[in-house]
Amino acid sequence: QVQLVESGGGVVKPGGSLRLSCEASGLTFSDYYMSWIRQTPGKGLEWLAYISGSGTYTNYADSVKGRFTISRDNTKNSLYLQMSSLRVEDTAMYYCARDRSIAALWGQGTLVTVSS
Amino acid sequence: SALTQPASVSGSPGQSITISCTGSRSDVGAYNYVSWYQQHPGRGPKVVIYDVNNRPSGVSSRFSASKSGNTASLTISGLQAEDEADYYCSSFTTSNTLVFGTGTKVTVL
């Protein structure tokens, strides 16, 4: 069964950092681009970043460029999102997803709350 | 910027409804990489259409979609109670990014 499971969410103060993880199972992880997407009640779905299967190529949304870093460890079938300089407006449910031109498979999400 | 969808669409069981997704020449109009997602409350989104008009295995044939110019459309025929959910479109862009629609709440009357 193909599955993505996110973890690492929580409550953090503005200006703080957090690292999200996404563990994949049931697929040849290194074959796929992987993405991070977030969802807020007010702004809907927002693509944040993707990374190529080898980890060589990355691309970021302007809203997180310079603050967030996407990475992967293919030996652990895991995707990561290092988030720094967090802002109140980064509060959202964060999803990892397979592929880049389509979010073909989603996890259940992990909630990040940025609040003082 | 986000693709434009109607905030809500409703229909009675058995009817057909259509949701539009309007973008630009830089996204919807640029490639055939338009997808549609269904999201029930408390769940992650699930793909119901990819590459404009293709259904993943396991998705009901009641879901169909098309694209004309900068606007894509999703049609749900034979509306059922289980179709009540939020629906989002997405498109790959000429900037090699992914952009989502504003979302549409489908209500089965």
Query: Across chain B, what does the average pLDDT equal?
Result: 96
pLDDT of residue A75: 97
Q: Determine the Cα–Cα distance for residues B15 and B79; give it in Å rounded to an integer.
A: 5
Residue at A63: amino acid letter? S
pLDDT value at residue A83: 98
Contact across the interface for A45 and B33, Cβ inside 8 Å:
no
Angstrom distance (rounded) from CA A45 to CA B92: 14
The average pLDDT across A5-18 equals 98
Q: Looking at residue B49, what is its pLDDT?
A: 97
Judge whether B29 and B69 are in contact, CB under 8 Å: yes
Q: What mean pLDDT do residues A40-62 have?
A: 93
Question: So what's the pLDDT on residue B37?
Answer: 97
Interface contact A44-B92, CB threshold 8 A: no
- pLDDT for B99 equals 97
pLDDT score, position A41: 76
Predicted local confidence at residue A43, as pLDDT: 73
> How far B33 CA sits from the closest chain A CA (Å)?
6
In this model, does residue B107 exceed pLDDT 80? Answer: yes
Residue A42 above 80 pLDDT?
A: no
How many CB atoms sit inside 10 A of residue A79's CB?
29
pLDDT at position A35 over 80: yes
CA A60, A54, B28, B67 torsion-angle sign: negative
CA distance A107 to B45: 9
Residue B67's SS3 state is: strand
Q: What integer pLDDT is reported at residue A62 of this predicted model?
A: 96
Cβ–Cβ contacts within 10 Å for residue B65, how many?
24
Condensed to tens digits (0 to 9), the pLDDT of residues B40-49 reads 998 999 999 9
DSSP B69: T
First to last CA, chain A: 40
Per-residue pLDDT averaged across B47-70, rounded? 96
For residue B28, give the nearest of B7, B4, B45 by alpha carbon.
Answer: B4
* pLDDT (average), residues B53-57: 95
Residue B106: is its pLDDT beyond 90? yes
Contact pairs from chain A to chain B, CB under 8 Å:
57
Chain B touched by A100 (CB under 8 Å): yes
Q: Which among A46, A59, A102 has CB closest to B96?
A: A59
